[in-house]
Structure 1
Amino acid sequence: MSAADELDPTSSVLAFFASELRRVRLEAGVPQKELARRAYITPSLLCKIESACRVPSQDLAEQFDQVLGSDGHFTRLWPLVIKHAYPSWFRPFVELEAQATIIRSFENQVVPGLLQTESYARAVLEAGPLDTVEELVAARLERQRILRREAPPELWVVLDENVLRRSVGGPAVMREQLGRLMEAAESRRNVIQVVPYSAGAHAGLGPFWVFSFTEGADVLYTDGLFQGQLSADPGEVRTALRAYDLLRAVALSPRASIDLIATVMKDLNP
């Protein structure tokens, strides 16, 4: 008996998607290898999707509908799969991030999720306590769609130099990730600055984000050990924005930050 045969469709939204895919495929009389071929994926990947071991992309969900003639069934299911891949406490963050017109982020340990490569994201998540790594990787990459939409938010990122120097996933993963940062920094919608070690003590005591919107008050998000905390308290938001201004004041200029990223990337070359 295969893993797909033993799958409990009520155990998770991903399991329900997987069981529905197998059911519709069998009812349509399409062998697994044939669906894989027509969906332009490997049979092994399709097997993992039907066993709820891998989260499909949105494009793949749409391809399943097209091949199986399922009238948008999997396209409609897909947003639920991604939504429930996030821990419940993190979903409000994702919703605010998607609505924001300006995102300000400070990170002192890892690259912000919006700018992570798939390999880097996987390495970060594998080091964490959750066992749904593949679902979380897919969900993290999905968040990045907001940067590719017609009207993306302005993204302001301040990184401690520690983020560039900390080896996550090994040299090859870090080279790819630093390249992604440099690429993002070239966009006029993004500003990336690095607080160098030479700055010494600075205002960023821990990771935080401030979201600004077309209408409504700014919202602050601070990271924590078990879960983050959202706040729209004007005093707390004002304090966070003051800290952000101080961080930018001691950070390298955007151009000098790109140069530092390039230097660190060069040092990683074999």
Structure 2
Amino acid sequence: MTVELSPDDATDPGPSPLRNFGNEVMLERTRMNMSRVELGRAVVCGESLVAKIERGDRVPQREFAEGCDQVFPHGNGRFMRLWRIALRYAYPPWFWPYVELEKKATVLRMFNPVVIPGIVQTREYATAILREGRPKGLEDIVTARLDRQQILQRENPPRLWFVLHERVLRNIVGSEQVMRQQLLRLLQIAETLAHRVQIIPDNGRHRGPAGASPFVLMSFDEGADVVHVDGFPRGYVLAEPEDVTDADDAYDLLRALAMPLDESTELINSALKECYS
């Protein structure tokens, strides 16, 4: 996921929403006769990061936009509105439809045989996973991934149901400390009444639908379910009824192969103690 930037003058708001955001920050800052150092102190970041954001070289974090709305007079939420548009630059075009659907979903049923789903990844785990792909703009991609987790903080968050392979708990991503913090986060989800986490035990045999890729079944208050399949080089959304039915059947089979909820939680605890204590 690469942030594409135009070589045009950074003060021109036309090339991209990302540059437009940075231009508005620079205009307000200079209007207040405020240095980049002073703005950085006010929004809790460094001078160099302020400069990169003003040039359109970095996707700002949500906290930066919120801070600008507080620091600059008459912000009235303008920087958060601009930020939501600029955030698109941290996603590849093919992924944005999934992000929009994810925001509207009431239930997310996820299967992943390789990693813990991005919707509950810690910053360190997400950074370690994404770094392996040698992407440009790593910090921007991590910022975008973590911001998706805001849907879990809303008044009526979506319900999560994860089916994961046991190797997800034991394959080290980043470091043992990174894994410990990530499994504690997964355990928190497993122990939340609204959510479900089931683990498919690793008994040395293949279990589950042949060639099953990571996928998400999304349900909504209104409208039919849809499926997002995580593939290479890009994921894709399926909305045809027969495709959704096939995914639903596959998910039912995966849940049947997985351990019950309580036993899955115990297995997460065991992995924490055995591997990352």
Same fold flag (TM > 0.5): yes
Q: Which of 29, 34, 39 lines up with 2:38 in the alignment?
A: 34
Deviations 1:1-56 (A, max 9, x none): xxxx9788665433332233223212220112222222233444434433545432
2:22 paired residue number: 18
1:219 paired residue number: 226
CA-CA distance at 1:198 after TM superposition: 2.0
CA-CA distance at 1:116 after TM superposition: 0.4
Distance (Å, rounded) in 2 between the aligned partners of 1:258 and 1:45: 40
1:152 paired residue number: 157
2:237 aligned with 1:233, yes or no?
no
1:164-175 aligned within 5 A:
164-175=169-180
Aligned residues of 2:43 and 2:67 also touching (Cα < 8 A): yes
Long gaps (5+) in structure 1: none
Aligned residues of 2:170 and 2:275 also touching (Cα < 8 A): no
Q: Which moved more, 1:27-36 or 1:8-17?
A: 8-17
Residues 258 and 7 from structure 1, CA distance in 2 versus in 1: closer, same or farther, beyond 3 angstroms? farther
Distance (Å, rounded) in 2 between the aligned partners of 1:208 and 1:241: 11
2:264 aligned with 1:257, yes or no?
yes
1:196 paired residue number: 201
1:63-212 aligned within 5 A:
63-71=67-75, 72-198=77-203, 200-204=205-209, 205-212=212-219
CA-CA distance at 1:199 after TM superposition: 7.5
Long gaps (5+) in structure 2: 1-8
Calculate the TM-score normalised by the size of structure 1: 0.90
Deviations 1:57-103 (A, max 9, x none): 32321221221225233222110121231110001111111111111
Residues 182 and 53 from structure 1, CA distance in 2 versus in 1: closer, same or farther, beyond 3 angstroms? farther
Aligned residues of 1:203 and 1:244 also touching (Cα < 8 A): no
RMSD: 2.2
The aligned amino acid for 2:29 is: R
The aligned amino acid for 1:63 is: G
Give % identity. Answer: 43
